[in-house]
Amino acid sequence: MTRRSRPGSRPARPLHDRHHVWAGIWLIVNQYLPGGKILLATLSVIVMLLMLFVIYGTLRRWFALPAIHTTTKDEYGEDVKVVVQE
């Protein structure tokens, strides 16, 4: 088993992201805004919007990978898709 194929290393990430977004919304609505912490609420919203861009880019790349049919061997000897030319 290689470092890249460790079981359980990736499946929980989407659930983890949803959990953090929900916690961020909860903090903004129940802690920051009632407490008058407008700057903290604004910064939290900006960070969550930036995270949405990251998630969108990741999903866009993830859905584009099945269309790539060329593979090569990586340094661990596993077949991987050729995304960019070396």
Residue with tokens 């861009």: 53
Bigger pLDDT: 82 vs 13: 82
For residue 9, give the DSSP letter. S
- The most confident of 8-12, 48-52, 73-77, by mean pLDDT: 48-52
Q: Residues 51, 58: contact at Cβ < 8 Å?
A: no
Q: For the whole prediction, is pTM greater than 0.75?
A: no
Per the model's pLDDT, the better-predicted residue between 2 and 27 turns out to be 27
What would the pLDDT profile of 27-72 be if each residue is shown by its tens digit? Answer: 999 999 999 999 999 999 999 999 889 888 888 888 888 888 888 8
**19 pLDDT higher than 90:** no
